[in-house]
Structure formats: structure tokens, C-alpha cells
Amino acid sequence: MKILHGPFTQILPLTDLPLKGALKDDQLQIIPDGGILVENGLISAVGSFETLRKQNLSEQINEIEGDSVLLPGFVDCHTHICFAGSRAKDYAMRIQGKSYLEIAKAGGGIWDSVTQTRAADEALLTKLLLKRIERHLAEGVTTIEVKSGYGLSVEQELKQLRAIKTASTQTKASLVATCLAAHMIPKDFNSGQSEYLEQILTNLLPVIKKENLANRVDIFIEESAFNAENAIIYLNKAKQMGFDITVHADQFTASGSKVAVNVGAVSADHLEASGDTEIKLLANSNTVAVTLPGASLGLGMPYAPARKLLDAGACLAIASDWNPGSAPMGDLLMQAAVMSAAEKLNTAEVFAGLTFRAAKALNLTGRGMLATGMKADLQVYPTNDYREILYHQGRLKPDRRLI
């Protein structure tokens, strides 16, 4: 059955916008008094509500009362929300002025989350994950990438990925799993980087393929994690096995984005340390530049050079990096709105970075815009002017999700 939703004060379909480069707000199409026709979870038509109603007299109508702005659901293309425990101690140390390395030496950091996540069984991880998914969904995020990376052994990584797969059957949100077994070398592994990565390639990735647990592989390229040389070997082998690849790149030092571009990664994420050379490389590639303002806020670091990336011609996505350590807030819209003020991103650029450009970072088509044939992931804001959404810097939330 077809359902006609409307009338909406404004519909922003986000169609006919380029995938790469800077945008202007006057490129945004705005449909006043609009309606959207949905059939079997897909959009059949978008346009004038009255016109659609006259053309579809026999269809069910979901009357929308009051002021309303309709947007595509947001796509969060980088999260770590499958975890157990808290790292509040880390944050307290950080705002006292302790460094990343000092916190790790005091028992904090990624390994603390690994220890707490390993102690949780699959059922608990699934329960905790679903709670975070439902919060994201309530805030208009309808597609969510979820990484492993707090297991760091074959058994424990599989536990995380199986929890993600189970959760995907219990939510209306769309989940995209990514294997981040190459998050860091586990402290209980008694050999080097290349040996650990070979173990993942030999003993973990084939099982992931067999059980259809993920089709994406990620690696953290950084002085405290994996070097560029080993990452290139690992990513190329994972790609040969049929995985899409992505990279934690240029968070503290610049080297990962070059690797991402050279191996044909779908995205390079973080980019806080990217300079002019890295910006040019990304802009001249098909690799999506994913900025993570939540990590900048959580760590007290500068934002990735989002304005420069757009002006250079890059495809820029915005994601939350929701994780227990560096980005515990998880509020995607608030982070994007605050970063937009600092980096001078306009409304069109922010909305594009949260929707169809973020979908590109996950190699997903068919979502992130309101057009015929697209997935009907819809969010409705209680306002008569789309500009209010960023103006309130994340405080204005959607009051309806239609998915």
C-alpha cells in the first residue's frame, strides 16, 4: 500500500547537488506545502501535497499537522558504539591536562575499553548497542556504521560483529558493520605489527566473510597503532578478499590519508592533522573525506580542515565518531552544527555531509536524498524554516521519524 505523508511546511529533497566540492545555500531545492508518497519503504513521488493527493485519491494519508520540515534521515558513517563500560576517568584526566599517552600509561585509552568489552558477553553487548542505536534513531540518524575494534582477538572481534548483526535485526535503523581489528596491537599479543595483521587476514577475515558479518575493513594508521607500510600490505590483501576498505587517517600525524588514496579506500576519516598536501590528494581522488567533530570536541583538538577540503573539491562527510574514549557525546547534529560555525560550512554543505555524501563514504546508494526510488528514511523537524535546525546548534531535534 502507498502512504502519502504531508503536508510539510518545507521539504528539502537534497537532490541535484554535486557529490564533491563546495555548495551554496541557494542550490537547495525547497518544496513548500509538500508531500511524499511512500510504497514498501521506497519513495514513489515527492512534490506538492495537494497535487499528490489528487493523483492518489485511494491511498492512505498520514496527515502532518503544524509546522514541519522534512529531511532525509542522517547517515552516521563512523561510530564505535559496540562497547561496554565507561572511560569517564580518561576524560577527567584529559581536562586536567594529561596527554593521550599519559592516560594510556595510567591504564586508560583504547585498551581500557578492550578490557571492559571483552568482559561483556554477546547478549550484553547487543543490549548496550541497541540502546545507543535507538538514541541515534530518535535524533534522526537512520543509517549507522558500527565498528568492532574493542575485541582485538579473533574470538572477541567475532563477538562484537555478531552482536552488531543481531542488533541489526532488532531495530528500524540500517546498520553497516566494519571490522576494526586493526585498531591497535593488543597488549597480550607477543609479536609485532605485521604478525598481528597477518593473523587477522588468516584467521579472522575469512570467518567474517563466511558468516557475512561485515564487508568493510578499517585500520588506524598512527604512531601509537600501525605504520603506513604495514597498513598498505594489510589493506591491499583485505581488498583482494573482497572487502571495502577505509582508514583512520591523519588524526595526530599526517600519513594515513596518502595511504587511503593510494589503495583506493572508500573513505579517510579524522583528518585533523591533514595539511595542504593531504587536502589536495583527497580532493583529487574518489576517497571521501570524513570529518569527526565529536573527536575534536572530546579531545580539545582543532577540527579537520573541512572548509579547505570543500574548497579544494573534496567529497566531505560528517560523522560522530561516537566512542567511549575520545568522542563520548554521540550527538551528530550538535557536533555538525558547532563545527559549521567554526569552519564556516553553510547549511547545504552540512546537510549534504550528513546525508548523501555520508552514504557515499559507506558505498551506499539509494539513500540520503528524497527522490523516486530512494529509501524512505525520513525525519521531520517541528519548525517552519529549515534554517532553524542548525541555528539551534543541535537543540532542535526531529519529532517524527518515518521509516
Query: Does the bond joining 293 to the residue before it have cis omega, within 30 degrees of 0?
Result: no
Whether residue 380 is found in the same domain as residue 259: no
pLDDT tens for each residue of 235-288? 999 999 999 999 999 999 999 999 999 999 999 999 999 999 999 999 999 999
Helices and strands in the chain: count of H runs, count of E runs: 17, 15
Whether residue 384 is found in the same domain as residue 293: no
CATH code, domain with 236:
3.20.20.140
Whether residue 161 is found in the same domain as residue 49: no
Among 346, 361, 376, the domain-final residue is 361
Whether residue 375 is found in the same domain as residue 330: no
CATH code, domain with 56:
2.30.40.10
**Is 142:173 a contact under the CB 8 Å cutoff?**
yes
pTM above 0.85, yes or no: yes
- Give the DSSP H or E segment for 306: helix 306-312
Whether residue 57 is found in the same domain as residue 141: no
Whether residue 11 is found in the same domain as residue 158: no
- 279 SS3 class: helix
Whether residue 49 is found in the same domain as residue 78: no
> Into how many domains does the chain fold?
2
Q: Which of 399, 383, 335, 350 is nearest to 14 (CA)?
A: 350
Point out the residues of the chain with pLDDT beneath 70. Answer: none
pLDDT of the residue at 289: 98
Residues 239 and 218: their CA atoms lie apart, in Å, by 11
Whether residue 49 is found in the same domain as residue 92: no
C-beta neighbour count of 66 within 10 angstroms: 10
| Count of alpha carbons within 13 angstroms of residue 169, beta-carbon side | 6
The dihedral over CA atoms of 38, 337, 332, 14, expressed in degrees to the nearest 10, equals: 20
Strand-pair category, 31-39 with 244-249: unpaired
pLDDT of the residue at 391: 98
Whether residue 239 is found in the same domain as residue 338: yes
Q: Quote the DSSP letter at residue 310.
A: H
Whether residue 200 is found in the same domain as residue 232: yes
Whether residue 13 is found in the same domain as residue 153: no
Whether residue 272 is found in the same domain as residue 391: no
Q: Domain containing 86: what range?
A: 74-361
